[in-house]
Chains A and B, each alone.
Chain A
């Protein structure tokens, strides 16, 4: 596939800005949709497979301005409706079109505290960009206004120019909120509750903050310094962090409320136990959950072989089982760690793959091989108990099932051997049992996920939950959406109590 270099993209954008910027308010919709959509400049695939630097380099100012001018400023804002945190998308894009980046940042920050993260990892193609009028007019969702890239551009500009504003915090209320888990849901709850003047403590089990943003999503997709920056904002707001603290183990949830005086608790502990296939050979040396593989590489920094004490398996040929973003991350990480051949084994076709299209494209460019309509049957080991091959079986698509997707059917006698020394299983996670085991009184569904009402409230008084521990496996932005809803409910509950206390005193 041909890609323009970053320099070529910038040159084209400069010419387009010169042509359109003077009439930014006077363009007709037809003229706007004619403006070419702006590609994301990216590191050369052959270079990037040898480093962990971010793949997507981000728009230049000119590219962002051209892309922003493509927006039709619709009256019916489907993009806002499709955004889990309801950012005023046409509003901030209009500011970019006029070159007012300060104001653009302000608009985004009203709704989202973590735009540098969302702009990178949100699946915009199935959210804000899905029903974009520009994409509809051009009959291609990929030609929709690149909302995510614009969001990222503004957030990066704000960070690079040192203009990150610290949200205002109301006077102290004396109320305390405990947030369990520092992933995307927890960070949003912390920010929203802190803004109202409550004391907020985030408890994190790991030694570093960010949850899945840190241990799961690799540096080449979401650099750690961006997570650090977003967390610095929370620190500046006065949020307190306690790392190496497993609520349910280090201290029971009940004790946080009864002994430590927390008036509300938000549980955002994320996904839990990795699921394995249940096939022969899965406990051989060289078979890993994606969680383990990525945690070693990301959180424990095993990619930095000269410094890190945590080892990572030396692989030559790797099979990744699964078709989601985690599978893509694992495959691309394995490549960067030096594997010669990396296969993604998926039992349906590319169309059914849940991974983001952009990630799949990037993976292909990096030389990841996709084995569609195939699945693992068993893993074979050498005499010393290490993976030496994987037996696979072929599938074909049959009739559509209840979900409308064509069901994969195994092809008889289609077994074949794949020469691999490593297998990474990326087929999802069960629920995390650590907190729920030690918290009697919290209701769970049959999968062990916490059940909540429309305000994210659990069956326990003053306890709310959101993110993957409620949803099973979801996205960063859906977790943030749940966090926002929970924070609103917590703030409302605490405000009512403060009112009541005032009445009693008077």
Chain B
């Protein structure tokens, strides 16, 4: 069980929570994730990256977007409530050292997992360039936090409602063309964004690391549901990742696999919404 210490709505569908999990707060490193359940008997296991942690008050921070029934239920929980099951930290930590100049590209909710990584890279002495991208202004999260870390911060929106009207790949390409070119790129966001970031940097031969969020059940290597093709090998995101060389990841297969249950999930989400509406009408 983990108590919700703090809850904040960051944008229409994005929420932040601080959870009381002292052991995880102590052990976690940038890049790792947790799995939680809103119901211990029937709930799904939801993997979420740890966005931050505080050893003093024993808390970890998660940031999530409402995308289906389980995340909707989670968003309805409040400060003081207990999350019935929380396990972690899982996955391998991000490898952090002084690489030189690192470009951190965070798309949408992907800015949340990027935050601790950017923090750690900065602390290790890197020159950190941060690109934040979102569909529109309302979906930009953690701008202030990232500004505090970045040596250079670029914000883009698809519709131009804030910052540059551009996809993140545009400033990324410009930075790759600089001399000297960056030493490394880290991209976290929707699969399609990570795919195109990897394609953008490929001709410049800038090592590009991506953080994958595939379908998982246990998160401890047992089910293999999270497997992805990386180069010629099959890797498990939960124990071998979540971070991989973006130039080697088979994103197309990964995106297909992410849709494995789409039709069932849509049905379940709609059923849930319907029952919620009915319950409200009853009142």
A contacts, CB < 8 Å to B? 205-208, 215, 243-246, 249-252, 271-274, 276, 282-286, 288-289, 291-292, 295-296, 300-301, 304, 307-311, 313-314, 384-385, 429, 432-434
Q: Which 3 residue pairs are nearest across A and B when measured between Cβ atoms? A: A385-B256, A292-B223, A244-B87
Contact (Cβ within 8 A) A310 B217: yes
Known: A276-B234, A301-B42. A291 touches B222 (CB 8 A): yes
Point out residues on B near A: beta carbons under 8 Å: 23-24, 27, 37, 39-45, 69-70, 84-90, 217-218, 220-225, 227-229, 234, 236, 239, 250, 253, 256-257, 259-261, 264-265, 268
Are A292 and B217 neighbours in the complex by a CB distance under 8 Å?
A: yes
Residues of A within 8 A of B221 (CB): 272-273, 432-434
Bound CA–CA A429/B222 (angstroms): 8
CB distance B24 to A250 under 8 Å? yes
Partner of B222, one of A252, A274, A286: A274
Q: For A385, what are the chain B residues with a Cβ–Cβ distance below 8 Å?
A: 253, 256-257
Contact partner of B85 (CB less than 8 A), chosen from A207, A292, A308, A434, is A207
> A301: which B residues are within 8 A, CB to CB?
41-42
Q: Which of A208, A245, A304, A308 has the most CB of B within 10 A?
A: A308
Q: Per DSSP, are chain A's interface residues mostly helix, strand or loop, or mixed? A: loop
Q: Smallest Cβ distance from B238 to chain A, in angstroms?
A: 9
Chain B residues, Cβ within 8 Å of A286: 260
Q: Which residue of A lies closest to B2 (CB)?
A: A244
Contact between B225 and A292, CB atoms less than 8 A apart: yes
The answer on a CB contact under 8 Å between B224 and A292 is: yes
Also in contact, A311 and B223, with CB within 8 A (given A285-B260, A300-B45): no
A433 and B217: CB pair below 8 A? no
13 A–B pairs (Cβ distance < 8 Å), ordered by A: A207-B40, A208-B40, A215-B222, A244-B86, A246-B87, A250-B23, A252-B27, A274-B223, A276-B224, A308-B42, A310-B42, A385-B253, A432-B221
B259: chain A residues within 8 A (beta carbon): 285
The residue of chain A having its C-beta at the shortest distance from the C-beta of B225 within the complex is A292
Q: Are A432 and B229 interface neighbours, CB within 8 A? A: no
**Contacting pair B261 A311 (CB below 8 A):** yes
Q: A250-B89, A276-B234 are in contact. List 18 more A-B contacts (CB 8 A).
A: A205-B218, A243-B85, A244-B87, A245-B87, A249-B88, A250-B27, A252-B27, A274-B223, A283-B234, A307-B41, A308-B42, A309-B44, A309-B70, A310-B42, A311-B265, A314-B264, A385-B257, A434-B221
A208–B260 Cα distance when bound, in Å, is 26
B70: A residues at CB distance < 8 A: 309
- Would you call A205 and B42 a contact (CB within 8 A)? no
Q: How far, in angstroms, from A313 to B69 measured CA to CA in the complex?
A: 18
Q: Decide: A432 near B42, CB < 8 A? Known: A207-B87, A288-B225.
A: no
Q: Across the two chains, which residue of chain B brings its CB closest to A292?
A: B223
Residues of B contacting A291 with CB < 8 Å? 222-224
Contacts of B69 in A (CB 8 A): 309
Contacts of B37 in A (CB 8 A): 207
- Please name the residue on chain A nearest to B216 by beta carbon: A292
Give the distance in Å from the alpha carbon of A291 to the alpha carbon of B224 in the complex: 8
User: CA A31 – CA B45 in complex, angstroms?
Assistant: 58
State how many angstroms separate the Cβ of B210 from the closest Cβ of chain A: 17
User: Of A250, A272, A304, A310, which one neighbours B87 at CB under 8 angstroms?
Assistant: A250
Q: How far is the CA of A291 from the CA of B41 in the complex (A)?
A: 19
Point out the residue from A246, A308, A313, A314 that lies within 8 Å of B220, measured CB to CB.
A246
Q: A207-B85, A283-B229, A304-B42 are in contact. Are A313 and B222 (CB under 8 A)?
A: no
Q: How far is the CB of B202 from chain A (nearest CB, A)?
A: 22
Known A-B contacts A206-B218, A292-B225, A310-B217; the reply to A434 vs B239 at CB < 8 A is: yes
Separation of A466 and B76 alpha carbons in the complex (Å): 43
**Given contact pairs A250-B88, A283-B257, A432 touches B220 in the complex (Cβ within 8 A):** yes
Closest B residue to A296 using CB positions: B217
Contact between chains at A289 and B218 (CB < 8 Å): no
CB pair A285–B224 under 8 Å, yes or no, is no
| Minimum Cβ distance to chain B for residue A500 (Å) | 32
Using known A-B contacts A249-B90, A251-B23, A283-B253, determine if residue A295 contacts B42 with beta carbons closer than 8 Å.
no
Q: Tell me the smallest distance from the CB of B85 to a CB of chain A, in Å.
A: 4
Least CB distance from A186 to B in Å reads 15
CA distance A57 to B264 in the complex (A): 34
Chain B contacts of A252 at CB under 8 A?
A: 27
Question: What residues of B have a CB within 8 angstroms of the CB of A250 in the complex?
Answer: 23-24, 27, 87-89
Q: Are B218 and A295 interface neighbours, CB within 8 A?
A: yes
In the complex, which residue of chain B has the Cβ closest to the Cβ of A244?
B87
Asked if A273 contacts B217 (CB within 8 A), the reply is no
Closest to B228 in A: A283
- What is the minimal beta-carbon distance from A384 to any residue of chain B, in angstroms? 7
A283 to B217, CA, bound (A): 16
CB distance from A240 to the nearest CB of B (A): 15
Given A244-B85, A246-B90, A291-B222, A384-B256 contact (CB < 8 Å): yes
Residue of A nearest to B32 (CB): A249
Is there contact, CB below 8 Å, between B234 and A432?
Answer: no
| In the bound complex, CA of A117 to CA of B221 (Å) | 26
Q: Would you call A309 and B87 a contact (CB within 8 A)?
A: no
| CB-based contact A432/B43 at 8 Å | no
Give the Cβ gap from B106 to chain A, nearest Cβ, in Å: 25
Residues in chain B near residue A205, CB distance under 8 A: 87, 218, 220
Residues in chain A near residue B268, CB distance under 8 A = 309, 311
Complex Cα spacing A309 to B43, Å: 5
Give A205 to B86 CA distance when docked, in angstroms: 10
Inter-chain contact A295/B217, CB cutoff 8 Å: yes
Residues of B with C-beta under 8 A to A285:
256-257, 259-260
How far is A76 from B220 in the complex, measured between Cα atoms in Å? 46
- Residue ID in chain A nearest B229 by CB atoms: A283
Interface centre among A207, A295, A385 (most CB of B within 10 A): A207
A455 to nearest B CB, angstroms?
Answer: 28
The closest CB in chain B to the CB of A285 belongs to: B260
A332 to B113, CA, bound (A): 41
Please determine whether B223 and A295 come into contact, CB atoms closer than 8 angstroms: yes
How many angstroms between the C-alpha atoms of A282 and B227 in the bound complex?
Answer: 10
Bound-state Cα–Cα, A311 to B258, Å: 13
Among B24, B220, B250, the most chain A Cβ lie within 10 Å of the Cβ of B220
Identify which of A274, A304, A309 gathers the most chain B CB atoms within 10 Å of its CB: A309
CB distance from B155 to the nearest CB of A (A): 34
Q: How far is the CB of B181 from chain A (nearest CB, A)?
A: 33
B227 CB to nearest chain A CB (Å): 6
Residues of B within 8 A of A273 (CB): 221-222, 224, 236, 239
Q: Looking across the interface, which residue of chain B has its beta carbon closest to that of A307?
A: B42
With the chains together, A14 CA to B170 CA distance in Å?
84
- Set of chain A residues within 8 Å of B88, measured between Cβ atoms: 246, 249-250
Question: B24: which A residues are within 8 A, CB to CB?
Answer: 250
Name the distance in Å between A183's Cβ and chain B's nearest Cβ.
12
